[in-house]
Amino acid sequence: MNQQMEVAVLGGGCFWCLAAVYGEVRGVARVESGYAGGGVPDPTYEQVCAGDTGHAEVVRLEFDPAVISYHDLLEIFFTLHDPTTLNRQGNDVGTQYRSVIYSQSAEQEKVARKVLAEMAGVWDAPLVTQLAPAPAFYKAEQYHQNYVEQHPLQGYCALVVAPKVEKFRAMYAGRLK
């Protein structure tokens, strides 16, 4: 990672959804699916899905703040998932699907607090998005990386992820790579 790049770690349901969208965002150089926020070192997908590790499914983004700001990445984040449902995104239920922002610095925390306050006025229900300092990030298994790109016709990808990608493309056409 070069010196101009920054890192963002976000959880908002299944990491496949977030990864598919952020992979299309101009200024995002790298997207990794993984796990963060739990107590088990280097967990497996099966362990995280069982809900016993405390980890959330997250994406780790490397982005160029000269091209896209952290604020704008967070605005996109809040259009990709429902930040008012505790430990749930649609049919995905469990703490691993929580809405969470893991700040990498005091500046990111400040920006996240500002965006959370802005978004509180947009949603009809209270936000349940957690904001916490960045814990260890564990990269998910290789088959989860670029999953939607590799399996576009898989049921979940076609029925759940594809509409989120289309929504992003419609709302943020100027942000596409």
Strand, helix or coil for residue 136: coil
pLDDT of residue 2: 55
Asked if residue 90 has pLDDT above 90, the reply is no
Q: For the chain, give the percent of residues with pLDDT over 70.
A: 98
> Rounded CA gap, 19 and 1, in Å?
18
Arithmetic mean of pLDDT, 126-134:
97
Asked if residue 54 has pLDDT above 90, the reply is yes
pLDDT of residue 1: 55
pLDDT of residue 3: 67
Arithmetic mean of pLDDT, 41-48:
96
Q: Which amino acid is at 162?
A: A
Arithmetic mean of pLDDT, 149-165:
87
> Rounded CA gap, 109 and 122, in Å?
20
3-class DSSP string for 73-91: HHHHHHHHCCCCCCCEECC
Arithmetic mean of pLDDT, 156-172:
88
Catalytic annotation, residues = 14
Asked if residue 172 has pLDDT above 80, the reply is yes
Asked if residue 153 has pLDDT above 90, the reply is no
* Average pLDDT of the chain to the nearest whole number: 94
pLDDT of residue 91: 87
pLDDT of residue 152: 84
Look up residue 50 and give its two tokens: 């069982």
Q: What is the tens place of the pLDDT at every residue in 73-88?
A: 999 999 999 999 999 9
> Rounded CA gap, 161 and 48, in Å?
20
Name the E strands within 52-169: 56-63, 88-89, 92-93, 99-103, 130-133, 137-139
pLDDT of residue 138: 98
Q: What is the H or E stretch that residue 113 is in?
A: helix 106-120
Q: Which of 36-45, 81-90, 137-146, 150-159 has the lowest mean pLDDT?
A: 150-159
